[in-house]
Chains A and B, each alone.
Chain A
Amino acid sequence: SQKIEQNSEALNIQEGKTATLTCNYTNYSPAYLQWYRQDPGRGPVFLLLIRENEKEKRKERLKVTFDTTLKQSLFHITASQPADSATYLCALSGGGADGLTFGKGTHLIIQP
């Protein structure tokens, strides 16, 4: 069955450093990989989408890489800030009008 793995442990990063989160998947050939941010008591908020034929995507302080051979995506937040503290979710879809398959998320804590 399809499986998405994200760091289950909380990730503590010092303010100003780069936070790197990992998403690995098995038994899936996604057309798209997406990253979301979820704060307590809120729904996920879309951050970035990367297609299967793309290697890297950037948006302001965010960068996503996608390696379909390794079946892995890395999500980077540069110059991290305490306001970046949240749970970050990796999600896959086959494209078209599909719903998403989510990982459990990684809880990121940026220490001032």
Chain B
Amino acid sequence: SAVISQKPSRDICQRGTSLTIQCQVDSQVTMMFWYRQQPGQSLTLIATANQGSEATYESGFVIDKFPISRPNLTFSTLTVSNMSPEDSSIYLCSVADGSGYTFGSGTRLTVV
């Protein structure tokens, strides 16, 4: 199965700043998915990232707040922009992998 390297694993950021999260996959994949997991909540899909086209965002998520890059078939970044304490969450990337999906280990973001 695919192996995903996600970084940073955690960060503490000041409100109003931005953080870029990176995911590197050890194989080429068509689509990468970005999720948010707020404390005590389920994983929520933020957007789907295709190489060579703009990401598709789910209801409640916008490109200005969560810009995504997908420069090639093994790499993607998610930026959390103009952060507020409400953005404190775990952010995860994922790829479809055979029957199921493989996830990165997550980025635990705390905004102060």
Contact = CB atoms under 8 A, between A and B. Distances in A.
A58 to B, nearest CB: 14
A19 B48 CA distance: 34
Given A100-B43, A100-B45, A104-B41, A43 B106 contact: yes
B108 to A, nearest CB: 8
Contact of A89 (B42, B96, B108): B42
Interface residues of B, number: 28
Interface string A64-108: 000000000000000000000000010100000101111111000
A97 B48 contact: yes
Most buried by A among B4, B40, B99, B104: B99
Given A42-B106, A43-B106, A45-B103, A97 B96 contact: yes
Interface in A1-48: 4, 34, 36, 41-47
Contacts of B106: 41-43
Contacts of B97: 46
B75 interface: no
A43 to B, nearest CB: 3
A106 to B, nearest CB: 11
Interface in B28-58: 30-31, 33, 35, 40-45, 48, 58
Nearest to B48: A99
Interface of B: 1, 4, 6, 30-31, 33, 35, 40-45, 48, 58, 92, 94, 96-97, 99-106, 108
Interface of A: 4, 34, 36, 41-47, 49, 89, 91, 97, 99-105
6 contacts: A43-B104, A43-B105, A45-B103, A91-B43, A100-B101, A102-B44
Closest 8 CB pairs of A and B: A46-B100, A43-B103, A99-B45, A102-B42, A102-B43, A104-B42, A49-B99, A99-B33
